[in-house]
Amino acid sequence: MKRAYEEIAADIEKRIQEGRFKPRERLPSVRELCASYRVSQNTAVKAYEVLKSKHLVYSVPQSGCYVLENRRKLEQTERSVIDFARGNPMLGKIHTPDIKHCLDRAIDICNENSAEWHEMYGAPSLRKLLPKYLADFQVFASPENIFVNLGVQQALTLLTHMSFPNQKDTILIEQPTFRYYNWFLKSSGVKVIGIQRDASGIDIATLERLFKNEKIKFFYTVPNSHNPLGTCYSREQRKAIARLAEKYDVYIVEDDYFGDIRFGNHGDALYSYGDQQHHIYLKSFIKIIPWLRIGITVIPTQLLSIFSEQVKQSYFHSYFSPSLVSQATLEIYIRSNVLKKHIAAMKKELAPRLNCLRLRFAEAKQYGAAWIGGESGFYSYLELPENVNEKQFVEILKKRDVIVTPGNECFIENCRQQSGIRLSVARTTAEEIDRGISILYEELRTWKTK
């Protein structure tokens, strides 16, 4: 027997298929759904979550849910295109029963404890659970130091504009790095400088010089499954970075967005090697549970009052904590060990893709190109020959239905040294990877003969 939210979702899906709801049309609000079907707000929200997971609808903040345009045409197109650009995976049918189970239990939790869940910094029961979860990554923190938020980008926005006790004003970032943070920094007007990161990591002597001579407020770094390089810091580099942070009073903002899934033994979270007073730890779940936009921020005690004030100020303009359904769902994922099962399944799916990718790396040399990464996570980076125009090359691949990310998006001004492209295997199969790399090499061969 279907639950109420499943019946509502099925009814809306039927109306979409029959054309009674048109593409891009705004669907009834949650309040209207409650009135029409005589259900609670949580049940209505859950119905829309099911439709989102099926990619039938999408939501616009402070506006509502809308029908996805030309869904069938989009699916047909996606099957023919090799998508090396997007970093968010598709959830296969293997994970669907677990999602439904966690949603069912989550809605029950919200109905039973809704009065206790309206917390600015995250649901109390989830925050109490997270220290045990984080301890698996050697990140030890009390619930008071943990904030549940909408993801890494939101936390970075608050930290960028926040004043730090070291009274410094410059942000240091790896180059290349997370492109959305690059874009944000370009538009925010803050002082920012870059440090080169390559297949070997960063030069520790250069890092020390920057820590010593520049007014570095914090160093934003992605030690594991780097985006876009697909590399990991060594244990020795992690220890050196932590030591220098303490020595020169520089804060470390560690983005461990994919820390649950790692290949190889590169050491624990950078956080674990430091004094913890200078370390801020960020984690997101969107790469492993794509429909769940939720993140964790661990703040050192001496920054709690400052960061809390930033959260309060942002709360007046936008939401900080995720929906109650999302938080309750994550709690069930962790409590029931479904998260560990889910991660194991994803790791099993990812391993052959990375193996297929790396098997094709050696061929790049004959075209004057060089690969970086493919060690852990979804990403790898191809450095192009000097004579290859990056923008034109990306467009040529697009015409052949191979979509990649231009490397220039991962750099700030004056930090670019060589053209390149980022590849993600998040939405591909091993067969598509092999075919896509063959097309890429064909175009490099053609370019070489020009």
DSSP for 136-191, please give it.
TTT----GGGEEEES-HHHHHHHHHHS--TT---EEEEEES--HHHHHHHHHH--E
Spatial contact of 255 and 287, defined as CB atoms under 8 Å apart: no
Q: What is the pLDDT of residues 111-136, one digit of tens each?
A: 666 555 557 888 888 999 999 999 99
| Rounded Cα gap, residues 348 and 352, in angstroms | 8
Q: For the chain, what percent of residues have pLDDT higher than 90?
A: 57
Q: Please say if the pLDDT value at position 139 is more than 90.
A: yes
The answer to whether 26 and 63 have CB atoms below 8 angstroms apart is: yes
**When comparing pLDDT for 64 and 145, which is higher?**
145
178 vs 180: CA distance, rounded Å: 6
Average pLDDT for residues 226-242, to the nearest whole number?
A: 97
Closest CA to 369 of 318, 437, 431: 437
Cβ neighbourhood burial of 34 (10 Å; 0-12, 13-18, 19+):
middle
Q: In whole angstroms, what is the distance from residue 402 CA to residue 155 CA?
A: 33
> At a CB cut-off of 8 Å and minimum separation 6, what does 143 contact?
124, 127, 128, 130, 131
Average pLDDT, whole number, for the chain?
Answer: 89
Q: Which two tokens stand for residue 423?
A: 């590849």
pLDDT interval class at 143 (50, 70, 90): very high
- What whole-number distance in Å separates Cα of residue 57 and Cα of residue 13? 9
Distance CA 136, CA 365 (A): 40
Say which residue, 326 or 420, is predicted with more confidence.
420
Sequential DSSP letters for 71-133: HHHHHHHHHHSEE-S--SPPPPGGGHHHHHHHHHHHHHHHHHHHHHH--TT--HHHHHHHHHH
pLDDT in tens, 375-412: 999 999 999 998 899 999 999 999 999 999 999 999 98
Least-confidence region, from 55-69, 169-183, 420-434: 55-69
Residue 318 confidence (pLDDT) above 60: no
pTM equals 0.81
Q: Which of 169, 134, 145, 140 is nearest to 251 (CA)?
A: 169
CB 195 within 8 A of CB 207: yes
Tell me, what's the pLDDT at 50?
85
Q: Which residues are bridge partners to 216 per DSSP?
A: 170
Q: Which pLDDT score is estimated for 27?
A: 92
Mapped onto helix, strand or coil, the DSSP state of residue 273 is helix
pLDDT at site 292: 81
| pLDDT confidence tier of residue 373, bands split at 50, 70 and 90 | very high
Identify the weakest region by mean pLDDT among 209-213, 246-250, 315-319. 315-319
Contact 235, 246 (CB under 8 A): no
- R_g over Cα of the chain: 23
Nearest-angstrom CA–CA distance, 384 and 418:
7
Q: Please state, in angstroms and rounded to a whole number, the distance separating the CA atoms of residues 15 and 269.
A: 48
% of residues, the chain, pLDDT over 70: 92
- Largest Cα separation within the chain, whole Å, is 68
pLDDT at res. 382: 98
Residue 317 has pLDDT above 60, yes or no: no
Tell me the pLDDT tens digit for each residue of 416-429: 777 999 999 999 99
Domains of the chain are: 4-78 (1.10.10.10), 104-335 (3.40.640.10), 341-448 (3.90.1150.10)
| pLDDT higher than threshold 60 for residue 150 | yes
Query: Does 210 or 115 have the greater pLDDT score?
Result: 210
Q: Answer yes or no: is pLDDT of 48 > 70.
A: yes
Mean pLDDT of all residues in 232-260: 97
Tally of CB atoms within 10 A around 100? 14
Checking 109-112 for CB contacts under 8 A at 24+ apart, the result is 109/328, 109/331, 109/332, 110/42, 110/324, 110/325, 110/328, 111/40, 111/42
Q: Supply 353's token pair.
A: 């893709």
Average pLDDT over residues 266-272: 93
Q: Which amino acid is at 445?
A: R
Strand (E) or helix (H) holding 194: strand 191-196
Rounded to whole angstroms, how far apart are CA atoms 450 and 441?
14
